[in-house]
Chains A and B, each alone.
Chain A
């Protein structure tokens, strides 16, 4: 990783504000290709906002985002997105396989309907996340972990090269967490780049190889072993150093 591989995501001077209250101040971010990256920071640090601004879901006040050298709008097909599980209505009248097929809508474009090919890809993705038995199930009957797997399957069928995931481990059971980690590692092994908003600091070194510490401003960003330091964590989390003490005790 020392040969300076090309950056697949390049964010410069990104500032996002709600009214005149800045949520992200002048954030720079470079993500090299083929890594698993965690974005961590306290509540209200702007982690989700950063992802949404990169994907053009929020209009930034200033700054630039380049995905493989071009603006996101021209590179949509390269990017997969897993929103927070809680951001959708799971009582929506539809089935698991139908939700997974939505991941294909981008490459289908307007008006064209999903067909056999989409059905097949969706089934394969469900297989990968261990949910093929649930294909025809109503989404309202799923547990939290199953919902997350469905969202991941939906991202897989996007066949993207860069994935943004908003808290994929949020509220899932241990089995699902393992399954997701394996999936992320498979993605990395096949050369994809994955950026996750992540909450659990204790698992950062185990699951990810890069990390960004964010608290409205960028505190640090780089390989976990270099930037995931007590010093940076204190900068990002302020006075809440309980975790640091635990970490030291563990060492």
Chain B
């Protein structure tokens, strides 16, 4: 691996980690799409900042962009409060408006600078190593690496320090407000955090990938754990894994790195969605099937139990009878009887089905519960 390959992978991993952290809270607050809006409108902040200072590397741009991010959130809230527009529609109204202003400004006044709409959408991770950070005449590495490292550190600190406050304002905003934890303040603090992360990240990976990195890893982590702390850790790991595997996918296909990383977040999500041990599609389907058979066996045991030692016992315990009384298809009844035999709940005696001791106990326990 060349040193720029290593640098690109490092930047990708750190960016993914930085995005996943605020993403967890956005996903839990059902505000994932707000990150989509912010990731577009911050462009307006960057453009305005650029016009003010005339330097694309100035930190002023980051603050301008973060301010526009917060403005986006406020405008959405304002529109929603009129009760004439629902939240999702409000997002859909605000962000194209601000984004299109930015696009017009770029195309009209900034056509000759390095600020074009393509770069905004998909970023230019591959070029990140060319933009060096020079301190006292020494090259200490790519600038993007330091920007994202700073943002990652900031996000980690914020979430660690305000962990309890984020948790209660997300879970129960009413109680949080009653206890004096200012949910609105936390909301805007979080939104500033998201804006800041998006600005830093989108310079490197573009606005579409930013959304993929913010939303997808936490959505996958949510399916893997029931613990908030673990959800943060897993989100970061899934983000990092997507970044690494995405980089090598891009290398193999000779395709866009940003696109490949976004694809890998999707691939990992689908895998988790299908195979997550508890909440995944496959395991829930398995559980449902198992429950169906277990229920049928229990039903059979209870049926036999209820008719045990009654005059109708021999009649009711005929296999052929199951179809009539329990309305089971032959094939299904066959399966249930076989499974119940294997589970030692019943045994056959001259063609009649009878309960074993274990089966009788099982029926009794079920009935008394």
Contact = CB atoms under 8 A, between A and B. Distances in A.
Interface of A: 19, 52, 55-57, 73, 76, 79, 81, 83, 87-89, 92-95, 99, 102, 105-106, 108, 110-114, 138, 140, 154
B163 interface: yes
Given A87-B172, A93-B222, A93-B226, A111 B180 contact: no
A113 B222 contact: no
A92 B171 contact: yes
Interface size class of chain B, counting residues whose CB lies under 8 Å from the partner chain: 20 to 34
Contacts of B227: 93-95
Contact of B175 (A102, A108, A140): A102
B170 interface: yes
Interface of B: 28, 83, 161-165, 167-168, 170-172, 174-181, 222, 225-228, 230-231
- State the majority secondary structure of interface residues on B: helix
* Residue of A56, A83, A95, A102 with most chain B CB atoms under a 10 A cut-off: A102
Nearest to A57: B177
Contacts of A83: 172, 174-175
Given A76-B179, A111-B161, A57 B168 contact: no
B179 A105 contact: yes
Given A92-B28, A93-B228, A111-B164, A56 B171 contact: no
30 contacts: A52-B174, A55-B177, A56-B178, A57-B177, A76-B178, A81-B174, A83-B175, A87-B172, A87-B174, A88-B172, A89-B171, A93-B28, A93-B225, A93-B228, A93-B230, A102-B167, A102-B168, A102-B172, A105-B164, A105-B168, A105-B176, A108-B164, A111-B161, A111-B162, A111-B164, A111-B165, A113-B164, A114-B164, A140-B226, A154-B175
A105 B167 CA distance: 11
A16 B164 CA distance: 31
A54 B183 CA distance: 17
A21 B222 CA distance: 41
A88 B164 contact: no
A106 B228 contact: no
B201 to A, nearest CB: 25
A88 B178 contact: no
B165 A113 contact: no
Contacts of B164: 105, 108, 111-114
Given A73-B180, A92-B28, 19 more contacts: A56-B178, A57-B174, A57-B177, A76-B179, A79-B178, A81-B174, A83-B175, A87-B174, A92-B170, A93-B28, A93-B226, A93-B227, A93-B231, A94-B228, A105-B181, A111-B161, A112-B164, A138-B226, A140-B226
